[in-house]
Chains A and B, each alone.
Chain A
Amino acid sequence: MKVTLEHTTKKFPGFSRKQPDVVAVNDVSLEIPDGLLVGLLGPSGCGKSTTLNLLSGLLKPSSGKIFFGEDDVTNLPPENRGVGLVFQNYALYPHLTVLQNIIFPLQNLKGKDKLTKTQMKDKALEVAKLVQLEGLMDRKPSELSGGQQQRVAIARALVKMPRILLLDEPLSNLDARLRLQTREEIRRIQRQTGITTVFVTHDQEEAMSISDLIVVMKDGVIHQVGKPQEVYDDPEDLFVAKFLGTPPVNVFRGRIEKEQLYIGDECVLHTPGVSDREVFAAIRPEGFELNENGALTCDLQRVEVMGRDVSVVCSHVDCENAAIRAIVSADNPVNASATKVRFDIKPHKLHIFDVETQQRIALETLQ
């Protein structure tokens, strides 16, 4: 089911009358193609959960429209939207068993959709199998591990075959190991059912790893929509560049003079077609190449060996980050006792942004 948001805005009234309204989602337009797994990504307070609740119908937009396929669902209450929602804390009914929890939405069906008890049980067992919960059907939620509870919540959301599945911070209550496992699980379940799925997360790695499409939000505004790799490689503004990637991108203050990018006094890159101005230059950690005669000189602090590759930690007066992290292959020996280290910069790992607008400045010949 294709999902469309058209100029959707959600305002919450201020805490007191004197305070202004809080605009959680500001004039957002978004189209989510059918059958994809979409990650809504952003720092806390960016409006991603509000967007999810607008989709679920638990919140109504202050203005704008929401479509599921061709249906305008803007004013439909949640129960008539056909959405499955998995809450951050799962919201499993503690007094019901796993089976009763999963059957619960089916028991609400009325009229021609009404199912017999055996039909309900069959359906519940079917989704339980999908999320691999067989054998736990008679347990209470309190007798399950976090990951199992998560799967019950997904099964409960899936059992009525929703048009779209919404997950609010699905992995935030799990430990690191279970998180890796569960995100694969979510990917698999989504593939198997083919249901358009939107999930909310503040963890960029999580979003990048399983999403078909990621939506980066900040302050109620969408900054960029795209495939994870595209967004990583081609950030449209400085915020997106900074938000994606671990270790984070290294941001330098620089300037363009005669189509050359200078960081400090060093000319780092040829920038054809860019007029002279102050810029931010963001270099991915993997964008550095050790070279004794390299373009950029930094003060070496330490070298961290991580096995497969080496993390060179250094500093530079014009860098916004407290420490620059350059990740280079472990094959290259680094003289850890040196005070200076020089790098060449891979051009496609360096992005320049306007200081005022923070928008990306495109280079003419860059591929």
Chain B
Amino acid sequence: MENRNYKGWLYLLPAVLFLGVFMVYPLIDVFIYSFEEGFHSASQTYYGIGLQNYSYVLRDPYFLQALKNTILLVAITVPLSTGIALVISVGLASIKGLRKLFQTVYFLPYVTNTLAVGLVFMILFQRTPYTDGFANMVIGWFGGGPVDFIDGPYWAKMFVLCFYTIWVVMPFKILVLTTALASVNETYYNAARVDGTSKFRIFTRITLPLISPTMFYLVITGFIGAFKAYSDAVALFGTDLNVAGMNTIVGYVYDMLYGNNGGYPSYASAAAIILFVIVLTITCINLLVSRKHVHY
């Protein structure tokens, strides 16, 4: 039997080759780059090995700003988007008429072109010489002064970024959650009803535990997705994110490689490894927590 193992490997070969060339090799490469001090990309030379890249990145105010932005974004959008998606899905599951219509409406952002979405947000938030944008119009009705959401104060820009992110990730979460809710066997609810369980208790004691694997999946992918945020910020604030003060870690990595002041693969690698460590830690914590709270 031992000799025939090669057949199995043969079947695996295409996938192994592909993953090796495009995932494993670059990963190892990034790891090596991050320890090579003073790497010069043109001559492919470096003068030492150590932690200097890390100490530079961790002292770089742009990186610290990007780190702060990213963590804020994660901390705000993951719980909020998951929570709101849950509320909407439960709402969708409990209505009878027009359910299909609402499901379609909530899913529309998922199939809408990113540029079109950006355009909509521009209309909502951007100030032009002719108008202050729709959001400011609403604020105006309530007697507030206009706020510049794109070039204005930090909290305003952060608000727009979080709003945008939540809006973009919501449809997928709603889709997954409505499926999970629909897959809960009706007899559990009937059993609970016969036993006189209140609606709230049915939700907390039966529905939530039964969809907990899905919730957990959404939280983990939500964390990872939010940590990798970049394109959303670019869509809203343009490519010069450092100047706007709205850079993210992935944005910082990109800038270090290809940006105006780029050409530092070592710094970029160090930042990427730091992001990797953060995401790994958070995922491990998630897994530990889930062991206690996710059933089956």
**Physical interaction between A and B:** yes
Interface residues of A, Cβ cutoff 8 Å to B:
56-58, 77-80, 83-85, 87, 89, 91, 93-95, 104-105, 107-109, 142, 156, 160
Leading 8 A-B pairs by shortest Cβ distance = A79-B196, A95-B295, A105-B195, A91-B187, A91-B191, A95-B209, A78-B194, A85-B194
Interface contact tally, CB-CB below 8 A: 61
- Nearest A residue to B189 by beta-carbon distance? A91
CA distance A104 to B210 in the complex (A): 16
A79 contacts across to B, CB distance below 8 A: 193-197
A87 contacts B190, CB within 8 Å?
A: yes
B194 contacts A56, CB within 8 Å?
A: yes
B194 contacts A94, CB within 8 Å?
A: no
CA distance A142 to B185 in the complex (A): 16
A80 touching B196 in the complex, CB below 8 Å, given contacts A94-B210, A95-B295, A108-B201: yes
B296 contacts A87, CB within 8 Å?
A: no
B209 contacts A58, CB within 8 Å?
A: no
Give me 6 other A-B pairs in contact (C-beta within 8 A), A105-B195, A142-B296 excluded: A56-B194, A57-B194, A77-B193, A78-B196, A89-B187, A156-B195
A58 touching B296 in the complex, CB below 8 Å, given contacts A79-B196, A95-B210: no
B187 contacts A93, CB within 8 Å?
A: no
- Nearest A residue to B187 by beta-carbon distance? A91
A108 touching B197 in the complex, CB below 8 Å, given contacts A94-B210, A95-B209: yes
Contacts A/B (CB < 8 Å), 10 sampled:
A78-B194, A79-B193, A79-B195, A79-B197, A87-B191, A94-B210, A95-B209, A95-B295, A108-B195, A108-B196
CA distance A57 to B194 in the complex (A): 8
For residue A48, give the distance in angstroms from its CB to the closest CB of chain B: 17
Interface size class of B (residues with CB under 8 A): 20 to 34
- Nearest A residue to B191 by beta-carbon distance? A91
- Nearest A residue to B193 by beta-carbon distance? A78
Determine which of B194, B198, B206 lies in contact with A93 in the assembled complex, contact meaning CB atoms within 8 Å. Answer: B206
CA distance A156 to B190 in the complex (A): 14
- Nearest A residue to B210 by beta-carbon distance? A95
CA distance A79 to B191 in the complex (A): 10
A93 contacts across to B, CB distance below 8 A: 188, 191, 205-206, 209
A58 contacts B201, CB within 8 Å?
A: no
B209 contacts across to A, CB distance below 8 A: 93, 95
A89 contacts across to B, CB distance below 8 A: 185, 187
A94 contacts across to B, CB distance below 8 A: 210, 295-296
Contact mask for chain B residues 206-219; partner A; CB cutoff 8 A; 1 contact, 0 none: 10011010000000
- Nearest A residue to B195 by beta-carbon distance? A105
A91 contacts B185, CB within 8 Å?
A: yes
Determine which of B187, B188, B198, B295 lies in contact with A108 in the assembled complex, contact meaning CB atoms within 8 Å. Answer: B198
Determine which of B190, B191, B296 lies in contact with A95 in the assembled complex, contact meaning CB atoms within 8 Å. Answer: B296
CA distance A93 to B194 in the complex (A): 14
A107 contacts across to B, CB distance below 8 A: 201
Main secondary structure of the interface of B (DSSP, over half): helix
A104 contacts across to B, CB distance below 8 A: 192, 195, 197, 205
For residue B227, give the distance in angstroms from its CB to the closest CB of chain A: 30
A80 contacts across to B, CB distance below 8 A: 196
CA distance A205 to B72 in the complex (A): 68
CA distance A107 to B205 in the complex (A): 11
CA distance A56 to B191 in the complex (A): 10
B187 contacts across to A, CB distance below 8 A: 87, 89, 91
A91 contacts B196, CB within 8 Å?
A: no
CA distance A205 to B140 in the complex (A): 78
A87 contacts across to B, CB distance below 8 A: 187, 190-191
A105 contacts B295, CB within 8 Å?
A: no
- Nearest A residue to B295 by beta-carbon distance? A95
B195 contacts A160, CB within 8 Å?
A: yes
B188 contacts A91, CB within 8 Å?
A: yes
CA distance A77 to B192 in the complex (A): 12
B206 contacts A105, CB within 8 Å?
A: no
- Nearest B residue to A95 by beta-carbon distance? B295
B195 contacts A58, CB within 8 Å?
A: no
Determine which of A58, A84, A109, A142 lies in contact with B193 in the assembled complex, contact meaning CB atoms within 8 Å. Answer: A58
CA distance A299 to B173 in the complex (A): 71
- Nearest B residue to A77 by beta-carbon distance? B193
- Nearest B residue to A160 by beta-carbon distance? B195
- Nearest B residue to A87 by beta-carbon distance? B187
- Nearest B residue to A89 by beta-carbon distance? B187
B195 contacts across to A, CB distance below 8 A: 79, 104-105, 108, 156, 160
A84 contacts across to B, CB distance below 8 A: 194
For residue A188, give the distance in angstroms from its CB to the closest CB of chain B: 23
For residue B221, give the distance in angstroms from its CB to the closest CB of chain A: 22
CA distance A93 to B212 in the complex (A): 14
Determine which of A58, A105, A142 lies in contact with B196 in the assembled complex, contact meaning CB atoms within 8 Å. Answer: A105
CA distance A180 to B188 in the complex (A): 27
For residue A49, give the distance in angstroms from its CB to the closest CB of chain B: 12
For residue A31, give the distance in angstroms from its CB to the closest CB of chain B: 23
- Nearest A residue to B294 by beta-carbon distance? A95
A58 touching B295 in the complex, CB below 8 Å, given contacts A93-B188, A94-B210: no
For residue B160, give the distance in angstroms from its CB to the closest CB of chain A: 40
Most buried by A among B196, B210, B295: B196
For residue A171, give the distance in angstroms from its CB to the closest CB of chain B: 17
Determine which of B188, B194, B212 lies in contact with A83 in the assembled complex, contact meaning CB atoms within 8 Å. Answer: B194
- Nearest A residue to B209 by beta-carbon distance? A95
B295 contacts across to A, CB distance below 8 A: 94-95
CA distance A157 to B212 in the complex (A): 26
B197 contacts A91, CB within 8 Å?
A: no
For residue B200, give the distance in angstroms from its CB to the closest CB of chain A: 11
Contact mask for chain B residues 176-188; partner A; CB cutoff 8 A; 1 contact, 0 none: 0000000001011
